[in-house]
Structure 1
């Protein structure tokens, strides 16, 4: 190992804590089926195996090898987070979505891949597991946020929904402190914020199992929560994501509701598919006021691509999975569904008072993104990812589907023409969420780059793949070879240098 390259390996307490699941499996290795201590057999979970398997080391490596050329104008950090369980006492009782958050990052500067780092978010519990001190008192509902990581007003924030405060990270991915927007956040936050660049507003819709409402929060240009709108809502639904237009906030009331009995029995994820809870869209002015509700056919609303106003209609483009959807899973250690996610559209006609639904693309895909400058405004292009191993893990109700149904790819959609382009990867090369980064001085919406972590099955590690958005199916501009594996996880962002 070159003198300028350093690998920080957690030893002692950390590896002992993690040993029951991932101890002994290095950064470039896949863990086999996790085994519960004393169980005498495998506790099979697709969410603790293969591309999902937690990594057991925190790494730092400099001057990463690159195939191709990193565009010199890409100066910043590409970050992505996800669950990475640390110290499982019983894998049989584990749920993937509750794994301790770990952020993975690559620093690009002047055409170089300067470093790679991966770090657990230091909640009080994670700090204890690692044998480290936790500064100060832990906040209520403390958790190592594992769902999203965003830039905001010069800060990097790791996010979680339904309770935990965000955690602020520094530029080297060290945990700084819980963050409450300058002491103005009271209660739960969300993992899926919407930043309206034109208005310089960060929007969030927060839920909590004991509330009889959800909260629409507006964080203004000063970085403080400026407005809070409480929207009455019965049944305590899980409101994972929402949509934002120039005029409206769109709430999605899904039939996944809090189950007090399951919580009392110790269920790790006490939310169930509730056939008695109607699915609805709620449209509310961004400034607050009454919410108009529209009942629609049930699906599991997963993630928003984008939304915009069009005359007397509100258009929402999103990914969804068929009903019923089990957040808690059916013994698989993660969520389960009867079908793969697709790209769809709702058109809410405010004058006529009804909603039209359209299927835009039935190719299995998730984690949709747009050019962030167009959030809440009409867009032409969208991007998404497909990871075969994820869809196989999710479809546990009717058994494992045929391998040929799923593939690994990134997808670019042209909403104006109704077409798609697919950048395919080999078998075993699981692709994660793509993020679009505009080229400096770009005039076209898709003039820029698409970045994503992609597993390299030959190395047993991951690459940061950089595509030209305007030559999407062409050869990658660059593949940055990471020293370890980035497990399949959730969301991330490009954090440009100031």
Structure 2
């Protein structure tokens, strides 16, 4: 994993105003360019800048990474402002995958950092004002790779999984994660205002989850977790994620009273980069969206799941064309859950070009609602978000 580069398209009044790509400035980028290092303090002193996710919160644009790196604030035009520890309130590491509560507007993250923290992760809550207002240190039996987090209206969900930090690899300067199935796999249900001692731990099937789709509480006290699940991760290929097994779409129904989990497959085909309507984060929902990744070809369609009927709809981007993470953008004033658009970058392997694509989330048969041809290829990346001006 190297330095991060952010790509952005600005849309206004039905037109694409600009496309930009910018490196997230870091000490390594600055040294290569002979320019000043980014302002602010990077908590883990890494020479590499955030390279995993970019999004908006508290009126700012943020580039983010896990495992200790401090988020970097970007300008509207995607240039680096500098490291920002939420106004001096972030005590340590942050995450690439925070979740925003649609009820409160607060941002929730589960953070970890090897070298600095050896046996715990930290839950971080950031208020709408962009300042950290709550942290909880959560002891773990080892340093597992906690890539993401889920929230429900009652709980924050900790994923304590059997991909762990191997310090021999880390000290040798290699990618530090490895598969350790004997570590076990479990989720922790932290009450939203509780402490570490209040967490209910429940075993789940051995495997690994990079990305949950969503989570919610049920009327009978259970917790539903919809996840993209790998049976094995980083056993043969320590760089992951597709070198060992491919992810399927799975539902876990977790019972915090009996401390049991009922696991069922939603879709056994390959599903990754799951998204849903953001206003339903932590709540019951019907529709989810994924990229259907095919590691053997450049054919990555976009999939819509109806979690009530079990039906799925597939948007075919064409032979040799691969779509990335499908981000849902709600139609202003719309009343139905899927009333909106999916936006994504599409790579065309036939001519090595790229475009920004807009799809009607309710009606895939319409084809593209809009396509913005980009002046250069957008490399395969991880995550992005829609950030409205207002």
SS at structure 2 position matched to 1:151: strand
User: Which residue of the partner structure matches residue 322 of structure 1?
Assistant: 231
- The answer as to 2:265 corresponding to 1:368 is no
- Show the 5 A alignment for 1:73-472: 98-136=1-39, 139-141=42-44, 142=46, 143-210=48-115, 211=117, 212-267=119-174, 269-289=175-195, 290-311=198-219, 312-323=221-232, 325-326=233-234, 329=237, 335-388=241-294, 391-392=295-296, 407-472=299-364
User: CA 1:129 to 1:250, structure 2 compared with 1: closer, same or farther past 3 Å?
Assistant: same
Give me the TM-score of the superposition, normalised by structure 2: 0.94
User: CA 1:475 to 1:344, structure 2 compared with 1: closer, same or farther past 3 Å?
Assistant: same
SS at structure 2 position matched to 1:378: coil
User: CA 1:482 to 1:249, structure 2 compared with 1: closer, same or farther past 3 Å?
Assistant: same
Tell me how far apart the structure 2 counterparts of residues 387 and 449 of structure 1 sit (CA, whole Å): 20
Structure showing greater Rg = 1
Unaligned runs of 5+ in 2: none
Do the aligned partners of 1:238 and 1:257 also contact (CA within 8 Å) in 2? yes
TM-aligned CA deviation for residue 284 of structure 1: 1.2
Tell me how far apart the structure 2 counterparts of residues 485 and 106 of structure 1 sit (CA, whole Å): 13
Unaligned runs of 5+ in 1: 1-97, 393-402
The structure with higher relative contact order (CA 8 Å, sep 6+) is: 1
Do the aligned partners of 2:107 and 2:126 also contact (CA within 8 Å) in 1? yes
TM-aligned CA deviation for residue 350 of structure 1: 2.1
TM-aligned CA deviation for residue 378 of structure 1: 1.0
Do the aligned partners of 2:235 and 2:244 also contact (CA within 8 Å) in 1? no
| CA-to-aligned-CA distance 1:407-464 (integer Å, 9 cap, x gap) | 4200111111111100012232111001010111111111111101011234421111
TM-aligned CA deviation for residue 104 of structure 1: 0.6
| CA-to-aligned-CA distance 1:31-60 (integer Å, 9 cap, x gap) | xxxxxxxxxxxxxxxxxxxxxxxxxxxxxx
- Which stretch of structure 1 is more off in the superposition, 376-385 or 467-476? 467-476
Do the aligned partners of 1:282 and 1:294 also contact (CA within 8 Å) in 2? yes
Do the aligned partners of 1:218 and 1:227 also contact (CA within 8 Å) in 2? yes
TM-aligned CA deviation for residue 335 of structure 1: 4.1
SS at structure 2 position matched to 1:408: coil
TM-aligned CA deviation for residue 288 of structure 1: 1.9
SS at structure 2 position matched to 1:329: coil
Do the aligned partners of 1:145 and 1:159 also contact (CA within 8 Å) in 2? yes
Give me the TM-score of the superposition, normalised by structure 1: 0.74
Tell me how far apart the structure 2 counterparts of residues 157 and 135 of structure 1 sit (CA, whole Å): 14
CA RMSD of aligned residues (A): 1.7
User: Which residue of the partner structure matches residue 90 of structure 1?
Assistant: none
Do the aligned partners of 1:237 and 1:253 also contact (CA within 8 Å) in 2? yes
